Structures are given as C-alpha cells and as structure tokens.
Amino acid sequence: MYSFFSVMILICAVLLILVVLVQNSKGGGLASNFSQGNQVMGVKKTTDFLEKATWTLAICLAVFCLAASFTIPHVKNEEPKTEQAQEAAEDAPAENAAETEAAAE
C-alpha cells in the first residue's frame, strides 16, 4: 500500500509542477493564448480551470502524503543494535551465575 501512495505522490507532484508552470503570475500564461482566437473556452474559464486544478492537486498531494505516512511498513528488530549492547547482554548471565555461586557457598 505504501508503494501505491508513493507512486501517486510522484504523479501528483509532477502534474502540480506542470500546472503551476503553465500559469503566469501576471494573469497571462496559457490563458493569454486563447484570448483572440478561441472564445469557446474564454480567458476566464481557462484561468479558473488552472486555479481549480492547482488547488485540487495540492490537496491530493497533502492527502497522499498523510496516507503514506500511516502505511509506512514498520520492521521490528529484536537484536541488540550496537556491539556494546550485545556484549552487555552476553556478560550479564555470566555475572549472575557467578553471584549465584558465591551466594551458595
């Protein structure tokens, strides 16, 4: 499941980058190409579409990131993590056995 969300995050991020690059901060961009020749999708509708697409992709990216964080696989490792911890675990039974023998005498 984590792999699925990772792929969706990548796709959403690439699409968001493309939509943002198509826009022009001055109100032009892709919308300026349609101002003269094509009145079916006017300038206002193209700008609205790009803005809605930007917000939708941003929200989807946030949701996919949250979902991916909940589906990260957790690995339980029961072995000691360091050599010092491993040596301490090996020495502890030997010390306990020596104390038990000394107490028995």
What is the pTM assigned to this prediction? 0.55
Please state, as a whole number, how many other Cβ atoms lie within 10 Å of the Cβ of residue 46: 20
User: Mean of the per-residue pLDDT values for the chain?
Assistant: 76
Domain boundaries, the chain: 2-78
Separation CA 66–CA 102 (nearest Å): 58
pLDDT in tens, 88-99: 666 666 555 556
pLDDT less than 50: residues of the chain = 37-39
